[in-house]
Amino acid sequence: MKKTSTRLADGRELIYYDSRDDVVRDYPDLRPLEATSTASEIRYDPLLDEWVAIASHRQGRIFHPPADECPLCPSRDGRLSEIPAPDYEVVVFENRFPSLTTAAAGAPDREVGSLPHHARPGNGRCEVVCFTSDHDASFADLSPAQVALVLDAWTDRTAELSTIPGVEQVFCFENRGKEIGVTLGHPHGQIYAYPFVTPRTERMLSSAAAHRRRTGRNLFDDLLAAERADGERVVIAGEHWTAFVPYAAHWPYEVHLYPNRRVGDLLALNDAERAEFCTVYLDLLNRFDRLFEGQQGGRTPYIAGWHQAPLRSAAPGTVGELALHMELFTIRRTLGKLKFLAGSESGMDVFINDVSPEKAAQRLREVSP
């Protein structure tokens, strides 16, 4: 992999990732851009003991542009975009409308009135990952070699973002489909470098710590072993990876993808695990698309995200407990119908699933390529 870092006209970093060492990426950004300005801060919610990002400047971000004005396509035929090159393999760049930014680093907390409220500047970083220059493609259309390059980019960004002072967790994810809320149709994902351990990770670590106290074993190891032994909810069982529908799945079609060897983050995967991931993940994405084939509106909308161990501030002794895994789910529950987060889910965090996990796993096995 060759990595080439450059700067856009407004000072944001852009990085090309190429599979060949002889590729030259010497393309200046010719757009007359002003320097980006953000107003991000994180505020503490004392009732839920968690942080919320407030980023009002994001209201002005681009919303569903036509394909010939896509900012994630290469710059060609006289049209300038976020990527100055006329073609590319994988590109990562700083989000123009970030929820978190390193420009906020070093500023102190501030108290707000007499209530137990305080806020911090939104220190961190938000990046966009373009998986391919082909506007009409999807991640599922990539070759295993292309997926390997994306995985290399995710791994490199995890390593680099982890060194930013104040960053506590790195989250690589993809949102696909207008139903999810995606505002740009080009195949892409994002990476968030958070200045705190996320609430979801805190809960998983707390559960893992309690399991360790009760049994002396790792919760993630026991969970994976149980699913592989039972087999009813396993969708793909590879030599190095297992994809299964969790026993208490929140979403109608939800799959967790684990390496069979517990590691904490993408950096710890070995060559064999990295190679098999590329084929297993493509298989899984194609199964999701086959679930609702022929439905008006095209491919299955989904969210896919990597859960990695936090860096520094988790409770002592818990960071090593978390197992790297990918979670993939769709908000579509059946043909023509979406799973909306209504009163119980949004108001009380109590999910009500319309599809049994066993049936979901069966259907995903049946739609094998």
Say which residues have a Cβ less than 8 Å from residue 349's Cβ, sequence separation at least 6: none
Say which residues have a Cβ less than 8 Å from residue 252's Cβ, sequence separation at least 6: 330, 332, 333, 334, 339, 353, 354, 355, 360
Assess whether pLDDT exceeds 90 at residue 220.
Answer: yes
pLDDT of residue 151: 98
Catalytic residues: 188
pLDDT of residue 265: 96
- Rounded Cα gap, residues 110 and 128, in angstroms: 30
Tens digits of residue pLDDT in 164-190:
998 999 999 999 998 888 889 999 999
pLDDT of residue 73: 97
Average pLDDT value for residue range 118-138:
93
299 pLDDT band, cuts 50/70/90, is: confident
- Rounded Cα gap, residues 310 and 290, in angstroms: 35
Tens digits of residue pLDDT in 41-75:
899 998 999 999 988 655 555 655 776 889 999 99
Query: How big is the CA angle at 326 (ends 284 and 207), to the nearest 5 degrees?
Result: 135
pLDDT of residue 34: 84
* Domain 200-366 class in CATH: alpha beta
Tens digits of residue pLDDT in 87-99:
999 999 999 989 8
pLDDT of residue 61: 55
320 pLDDT band, cuts 50/70/90, is: confident
pLDDT of residue 63: 52
pLDDT of residue 104: 61
pLDDT of residue 313: 58
The CATH homologous superfamily of the domain defined by 2-196:
HIT-like (3.30.428.10)
84 pLDDT band, cuts 50/70/90, is: very high
- Rounded Cα gap, residues 164 and 191, in angstroms: 14
Average pLDDT value for residue range 289-314:
82
Are 130 and 187 in contact by the 8 Å Cβ rule? The answer is yes
Compute the half-sphere exposure of residue 324: CA atoms within 13 Å on the CB side of its CA. Answer: 22
pLDDT of residue 318: 63
Q: 117 or 189, which is more confident?
A: 189
Residues forming CATH 3.30.428.10 domain(s) in the chain: 2-196, 200-366
Buried b (16+ CB within 10 A) or exposed e, 263-302: bebbeebeeebbbbbbebbbbbbebbbbbbeeeeeebbbb
- Tokens for 308? 């990695």
In this structure, how many other beta carbons lie within 10 angstroms of the beta carbon of residue 158? 19
Tens digits of residue pLDDT in 230-271:
999 999 999 999 999 999 999 999 999 999 999 999 999 999
333 pLDDT band, cuts 50/70/90, is: confident
DSSP structure class, residue 82: S
120 pLDDT band, cuts 50/70/90, is: confident
According to DSSP, the residues that pair with 284 across neighbouring strands are: none
Average pLDDT value for residue range 287-304:
81
Question: Which of 141-155, 276-290, 331-345 is predicted least confidently?
Answer: 331-345
**What pTM did the predictor assign?**
0.93
